[in-house]
Amino acid sequence: MMCPYCDSAETRVIDTTRKAHSVRRRRECKSCGRRFSTMERAIMQAPLVVKRDGRRETFDREKIVSGLRVACARRPVSAGDLERVVDRVESRIREAGKTEVPTRTIGDLVIEELKVLDPVSYIRYAIVYLGLEDLDEVRAEVYRLLEESER
C-alpha cells in the first residue's frame, strides 16, 4: 500500500477492523511515520439503478453518501453514522438479489434509515425526495413524524 503523504511503498498494518462487508485497516508509513486508514470491500456485481426516465447506471454508493451529507449538514450525525446507513441500504439492495433496482426503492430505504437516525435530516431529505412543495405539506409531514415518535 502506498503512503498518501510521501508515496512510499513501505507501510505496515497497525490495526484491522472487520465490518459487515468491508475491512478497515489502520496503517503506518515506515518512511515518514504518518498514519492513515484504508477500506477494503469485496468487489461484487453491483445492480443497475433504473432512473425515472428509464436510463440505467451502475449503483454508486457515493451518490447516497453525498445526498446524506447535504441532508445532515450541521446536524449531530457523524461520518460513521452515514457510512453505516449506506452500508445497510447497500446490503438490503444486494440481499434482494435483483440485477436492476429502481431509484425509488433506494430512496425509500434511505429515507427509512434517516427517519430513525435524525428526524431533522429526515425532513430535509423528505422535502426534496417526497417533493414537498409548500409549507403546508412540510407541516403535515412534521406532524406525521411527531405522531409516529409519540407511539
pLDDT tens per residue across span 91-107: 899 888 888 999 999 99
- Do 121 and 139 lie in a common domain? yes
In tens, the pLDDT along 43-98 reads 667 789 999 899 999 989 899 999 999 999 999 999 989 999 999 999 899 888 88
- Do 39 and 49 lie in a common domain? no
pLDDT of residue 43: 64
pTM of the prediction?
0.67
- Do 4 and 66 lie in a common domain? no
Nearest-Å Rg of the Cα atoms of the chain is 19
Q: Which backbone phi and psi does 121 adopt, to 5 degrees?
A: -65, -35
CATH code of 32's domain: 2.20.25
- Do 49 and 110 lie in a common domain? yes
pLDDT of residue 44: 64
